[in-house]
Amino acid sequence: MTPLLFQGQEWAASTPFPFFSNHAGELGQLVTEGRKKEFSYFSDFAQLAVPDPQARSTFESAKLDWTEKEDGEHARTLDLYRALLALRRDDPALHPHSRQSLSAGSEGEVLWVRQCNPAGERLLLWNVGEAAVRLGGLRLPHPPPPAWCCTPSRPAPRRAR
């Protein structure tokens, strides 16, 4: 499927992305009130202020810090996205973009996506937890294929552009 990356997601931007708008007069007031009403249905926001979509400060808070992508976890996350996009572009097993060849699930805190078609089989494992996970310790519904591995701590080499 087409990868959708939004507002610095490819480098795990620390900047929030609140809804903001710039409507004049009554429409602006209605948008502000509508946003407050929408958030009133969520108990987690009972004690929090809902950012006013019409406030300049709400817009300003969403501006990305583009220097983040050069260092630390942000740079490692960007390298991971680049490696995954290169795999998607270059690996023939990932070219038939059909939902029929995809399956997905989870095992504990490990999410998995499997693509299996005549061109090959690929398995993406993503540990969203804090603890390390042994591949052999996972109870997956299918055996893992022999794989090339890329992790944030060991990103794939960058390809020439």
* pLDDT tens digits, one per residue of 30-58: 999 999 999 989 888 878 888 999 999 99
Burial 127-158 (b: 16+ CB within 10 A, else e): eeeeeeeeeeeeeeeeeeeeeeebeeeebbee
* pLDDT tens digits, one per residue of 61-84: 999 999 999 999 999 999 999 998
pTM, to two decimals: 0.68
Instruction: State whether residue 147 is helix, strand or coil.
Output: coil
pLDDT of residue 151: 52
Task: Work out the mean pLDDT of the chain and round it to a whole number.
Answer: 87
CA-to-CA dists, residue 76 to 37, 44, 47, 60, 139, angstroms: 39, 32, 35, 26, 28
Q: Which residues, in sequence order, are bridge partners of residue 120?
A: 117
Six-digit token string for 124: 């993406």
Could you please report the per-residue DSSP string of 10-37? Answer: GGT--S---------HHHHHHHHHHHHH
Q: Does residue 78 or residue 155 have the better pLDDT?
A: 78
Alpha carbons 67 and 119: distance in angstroms, whole number: 40
CA-to-CA dists, residue 56 to 24, 28, 105, angstroms: 13, 12, 41
pLDDT of residue 143: 80
* pLDDT tens digits, one per residue of 123-149: 889 999 999 998 888 888 988 766 555
8 Å CB contact between 92 and 122: no
pLDDT of residue 154: 46
Q: Does residue 24 or residue 48 have the better pLDDT?
A: 24
Residue 89 host element (H or E): helix 72-90
For the chain, give the percent of residues with pLDDT over 90: 53
pLDDT of residue 84: 87
